[in-house]
Amino acid sequence: MRIKSAALALSAVVFGFGCASNQGKIDELERDLAACNTSKTQLEEGLATARARAEAADRMSAARQRLYDELRAALSEYIDAGTLSITVRNGLIVVQLPNKILFDSGKAELTAAGTDTLKDVASAMSSVKKRRIFVGGHTDDQPVKASGFKDNWDLSSVRAYNVHKTLVDNGLPAETTATAAFADTDPISDNANPEGRAENRRIEIFLLPNLESILPELELSSNM
């Protein structure tokens, strides 16, 4: 009887240990499953965020491409003649006009041909909505001589202002148009040769996105 009782007691201990061990494994598996579900949720949220950001970027890129194509079509005559060019720099549409088209050497008053060109540029841009227009004046690195200007900063500033005024006088809203002088600080070519310096002497008209129009996209990216 003692042997039988001992055997029963041992069986109960083994059975209890086995149950406890199995329960521990079940608890561990449940924790692992919960962790997997959490990781799955995080991955799904990350994928949704990436998709939303990609879609926002695609919408902005498509809008920029439409505007680029519209401007090229409207100004094709000047582009074909080499009077101006339209490029994309740092994600922004830029209308580039060499100074030789707009100004006489060392002068800031627009030539008649330059004024006519800017009238057509203003007309082409008049349909642009939800964009700010930024006029930048650029020079080469040669000091100004006997021009009446203190330096290249002064010259590029007055030239940019005169372009700005002509654009506004021909229909662009003053409240969405601004100017800046760059002098020789933002060259697009080598100032070591005459050809490069000629390219650097230019007016650039940047089309900047209006923050109000892209704010939903920015909020989408920052909140996800």
Angle separating helix axes 112-125 and 2-74, nearest 10 degrees:
140
Give the pTM.
0.70
Q: Read off the CATH number of the domain in which 127 is found.
A: 3.30.1330.60
d(CA 85, CA 199): 12
Domain assignment present for residue 91? The answer is: yes
Q: For residue 167, give the nearest of 220, 76, 102 by alpha carbon.
A: 102
- Cβ proximity of 71 and 125 under 8 Å: yes
Domain assignment present for residue 171? The answer is: yes
Domain assignment present for residue 135? The answer is: yes
What percentage of the chain carries pLDDT values higher than 70?
Answer: 83
- Cβ proximity of 111 and 99 under 8 Å: no
- Cβ proximity of 118 and 177 under 8 Å: no
d(CA 43, CA 37): 10
Using alpha carbons only, give the angle 103, 106, 109 rounded to the nearest 5 degrees.
40
Q: What pLDDT does 218 receive?
A: 47
- Cβ proximity of 191 and 197 under 8 Å: yes
pLDDT in tens, 160-194: 999 999 999 999 999 889 999 999 999 999 999 99
Three-class secondary structure of residue 111 per DSSP: coil
Number of separate domains in the chain: 1
Which range marks the domain in which residue 134 is found? Answer: 65-215
Domain assignment present for residue 10? The answer is: no
Domain assignment present for residue 132? The answer is: yes
Using alpha carbons only, give the angle 109, 85, 195 rounded to the nearest 5 degrees.
75
Angle separating helix axes 2-74 and 211-223, nearest 10 degrees:
160
Q: For residue 203, give the nearest of 85, 75, 47, 50 by alpha carbon.
A: 85
pLDDT tens-place values along the chain, 224 residues long: 555 555 555 455 445 555 556 777 777 777 877 888 888 888 777 877 777 777 766 776 777 788 888 888 888 989 999 899 999 988 889 999 999 999 998 899 999 999 999 999 999 888 777 788 999 999 999 998 877 899 999 999 999 999 999 999 999 999 889 999 999 999 999 999 999 999 999 999 998 876 555 455 545 445 54
d(CA 97, CA 125): 15
Q: What pLDDT does 202 receive?
A: 96
